[in-house]
Chains A and B, each alone.
Chain A
Amino acid sequence: MVGRVEKTARLIWPVLSLALVLVVLAALLSLGPMPLQRTATEAFIRLIVVIGLYIFIGNSGILSFGHVSFMAIGAYGSALLTIPPNMKKIVLDLPPFLTALQLPTIPAALIAGTLSTVFAFVIGVPLMRLSGISAAMGTFASLAIVYVVISNWKEVTGGASALIGLPVYTDIWVALIYALLALGLAYAYQESRYGRRLRASRENEVAALATGINVRRERLIAFVFSAFIVGFGGVLHAHFIGVLSSSSFYLDVTFITLAMLVIGGMNSLAGAVTGTIVVSVLGELLRLIEAGFDIGTLHLAAPRGLREVGLSFLMLMILLFRPQGLTSGREIAWPLAPKAG
């Protein structure tokens, strides 16, 4: 009996401990001033995206530069389903039924997430035949395609001008709840036999094939599942800002979310969470320094771009000196019992 309790504790501790950290952080930050709360909310949304990235990259070992496209599809999908019809009539040129359609936020979010998933499946079938650098380049190409389409499809996305009128419902608690859900789902996947097979193929593709693992299929499962989570991150982002522009789903977000994953350690869920927290806090500090402060009549400010340079520098240092990331790809182990031999 005690053995079983301990076994369960050992199994859920890695994810439970991360969840506790997030809840405590949210509780503390929600007491802060509004700008701080907004920064925290944004960080939790980022976390959802990074967890989504981790599901694919962490378990498969294949880099993806394309996941932000799922974020974009989730965001625009949910926007089209929730913006009031009279607003859509003015800025967009949609088919009548789509103009008239206005769904409650949760069904809209689910449909938008599903759209990302379907898109991931369609591009994933050919992409998962590739390995290594070709796969990474393929995902990057898909990001570029989605970006260009969104920037130019005036009738549906508003094109170069921003899309406005989204209901704003993402606050720190909403973001926290979805981040916790993403965390739980990612862990459940990782510990399932599908996750184990994919991690096996990451360790050794030849042995995985020889063992009878259908590596392509396992990769596709993770790709599609991660797209759903990232798509949801996009939805929450859309309803956090309330305004969408195509440029907010391109290289900047791709870079920062990948940096979070790499810095934290891309082979563990703990790495995804750690990286997001560290990079968010550091980025915020650098931004404050960049904005400068006043001493009497003197205004001191660091040159613009300090944040990007600082984060890039950190990533470089991590890659050089701790290539497995801050967590070295390990999960948080159950602390109460000695390691089993």
Chain B
Amino acid sequence: MLATEELSVTYGNILALGGVSLRIEEREIVSVIGPNGAGKSSLLNAIAGVVPVASGSIEFEGQTIAGTAPEELVRLGISLVPEGRHIFGGLTVAENIRIGAVARRDRNAIDGDVERVLAMFPVLRERLRQPAGKLSGGEQQMLAIGRALLARPRLLLIDEPSLGLAPLVVSEVYRAIADLRAEGVTILIVEQSATRALEAADRTYVLASGSIVMAGDAAELRAEEGFEDAYFGYKARDP
């Protein structure tokens, strides 16, 4: 469904991502794990078109998409749930959800989709009229996912869904992610906390210092020698 080839991202002189190739098949959950600063967010942001690609290519359903504007990518079916508290704090919960449909043209189907999001995350229903900035961390994460769903994505990119959340809340978020896959959404998760991301995913890539150092399914990876080195970034080895 999605394939990147030697994808690089730079910020000025700093190389954030140095030639990453990965592929995601339809209806898979793929996770990318790695320490802070490994380039995980840059990878997602580049796929979503939020940061420019320095070199390399991205293909989505056979179409080259590197350099495409984010709003166009949303229309194609790629939605990003950005890292952390990236909701619109001054807008109400209802406005936040609705704005997710900004790139859609089928206006009359939106109410039904809002309803589906509220059914998926009932806590949000109780707070529809409140400013989103007043929500708890977990609720904000659910809101950010709900907002992304309003674009009816076929590929959902989620940046650090567990960041700063209590374990119980993390389970709830991951349960929602599993539900989404059951509905046919393909999902790419980026995580620093390896345990959850390994459990939830069909396959996992390990990213360190801007390159993929390991790849495989969760069980294989954990058994593999050097996994922890790579993961914790003590020494990045060549794959």
Mark out the residues of chain B between 91 and 127 whose CB falls within 8 Å of any chain A CB in the assembled complex.
91, 95-96, 99-100, 102-103, 126-127
Contact of B184 with A by CB under 8 A: no
Mark out the residues of chain B between 132 and 162 whose CB falls within 8 Å of any chain A CB in the assembled complex.
144, 147-148, 151
Stretch at the interface among B4-12, B75-83, B166-174: B75-83
Contact of A212 with B by CB under 8 A: yes
Contact status of A204 and B151, CB under 8 A, knowing A196-B99, A213-B102, A341-B126: no
On chain B, the residues within 8 Å of A211 by CB distance are: 74, 79, 99-100, 102, 147-148, 151
On chain B, the residues within 8 Å of A340 by CB distance are: 129
Contact of B227 with A by CB under 8 A: no
Report Cα–Cα, A229/B176, bound state, in Å: 47
Write the chain A residue with the least CB distance to B44.
Answer: A210
- Could you tell me if B86 and A197 are in contact, using CB atoms closer than 8 angstroms? no
Choice from A199, A207, A212, A267 contacting B86 with Cβ under 8 Å: A207
- Could you tell me if A206 and B50 are in contact, using CB atoms closer than 8 angstroms? yes
B129 CB to nearest A CB, Å: 4
Write the chain B residue with the least CB distance to A218.
Answer: B102
Report Cα–Cα, A211/B144, bound state, in Å: 9
Contact of B71 with A by CB under 8 A: yes
How many chain A residues touch B (CB < 8 A): the figure is 22
- Could you tell me if B82 and A196 are in contact, using CB atoms closer than 8 angstroms? no
Report Cα–Cα, A100/B34, bound state, in Å: 74
On chain B, the residues within 8 Å of A207 by CB distance are: 82, 86-88, 144
On chain B, the residues within 8 Å of A214 by CB distance are: 69, 71
On chain A, the residues within 8 Å of B216 by CB distance are: none
On chain A, the residues within 8 Å of B233 by CB distance are: none
On chain B, the residues within 8 Å of A267 by CB distance are: 90
Contact of A200 with B by CB under 8 A: yes
Report Cα–Cα, A202/B71, bound state, in Å: 17
B116 CB to nearest A CB, Å: 17
- Could you tell me if B88 and A203 are in contact, using CB atoms closer than 8 angstroms? yes
- Could you tell me if B95 and A196 are in contact, using CB atoms closer than 8 angstroms? yes
In the complex, how many residue pairs between chain A and chain B have their CB atoms under 8 Å apart? 77
- Could you tell me if B75 and A210 are in contact, using CB atoms closer than 8 angstroms? no
Contact status of A210 and B48, CB under 8 A, knowing A204-B87, A341-B129: yes
A209 CB to nearest B CB, Å: 5
Interface centre among B73, B99, B129, B144 (most CB of A within 10 A): B99
- Interface flags for B42-69 (1: CB within 8 Å of A; 0: not) read 0001001110000000000000000001
Contact status of A200 and B86, CB under 8 A, knowing A206-B50, A210-B48: no
B75 CB to nearest A CB, Å: 7
On chain B, the residues within 8 Å of A209 by CB distance are: 49-50, 70-71
Choice from B80, B90, B126, B147 contacting A203 with Cβ under 8 Å: B90
Report Cα–Cα, A203/B74, bound state, in Å: 20
On chain A, the residues within 8 Å of B70 by CB distance are: 209-210, 212
- Could you tell me if B74 and A200 are in contact, using CB atoms closer than 8 angstroms? no
On chain B, the residues within 8 Å of A210 by CB distance are: 48, 50, 70, 79-82, 86, 148
Report Cα–Cα, A200/B88, bound state, in Å: 6
Write the chain B residue with the least CB distance to A197.
Answer: B102
On chain A, the residues within 8 Å of B103 by CB distance are: 212
- Could you tell me if A203 and B151 are in contact, using CB atoms closer than 8 angstroms? no
Choice from B75, B91, B126, B127 contacting A212 with Cβ under 8 Å: B75
On chain A, the residues within 8 Å of B96 by CB distance are: 200
Contact status of A206 and B86, CB under 8 A, knowing A196-B91, A212-B102: yes
Contact of B89 with A by CB under 8 A: yes
- Interface flags for A160-204 (1: CB within 8 Å of B; 0: not) read 000000000000000000000000000000000100110110111
Write the chain A residue with the least CB distance to B103.
Answer: A212
On chain A, the residues within 8 Å of B49 by CB distance are: 209
A44 CB to nearest B CB, Å: 29
Contact status of A212 and B151, CB under 8 A, knowing A200-B99, A206-B82: yes
B74 CB to nearest A CB, Å: 3
- Could you tell me if A197 and B50 are in contact, using CB atoms closer than 8 angstroms? no
Write the chain A residue with the least CB distance to B88.
Answer: A203
Write the chain A residue with the least CB distance to B89.
Answer: A203
Nearest first, the 7 closest Cβ-Cβ pairs linking A and B are A212-B74, A212-B103, A207-B86, A210-B80, A203-B88, A212-B71, A340-B129
21 intermolecular pairs with C-beta atoms under 8 Å apart? A196-B95, A196-B99, A199-B90, A200-B96, A202-B90, A204-B87, A204-B88, A207-B87, A207-B88, A210-B50, A210-B70, A210-B82, A211-B79, A211-B99, A211-B100, A212-B75, A212-B100, A213-B71, A214-B69, A329-B90, A341-B126
Inter-chain pairs besides A197-B102, A207-B87, A207-B144, 14 sampled, C-beta below 8 Å: A193-B102, A197-B99, A199-B88, A200-B91, A202-B90, A203-B88, A209-B71, A210-B48, A210-B81, A212-B70, A212-B75, A213-B102, A267-B90, A329-B90
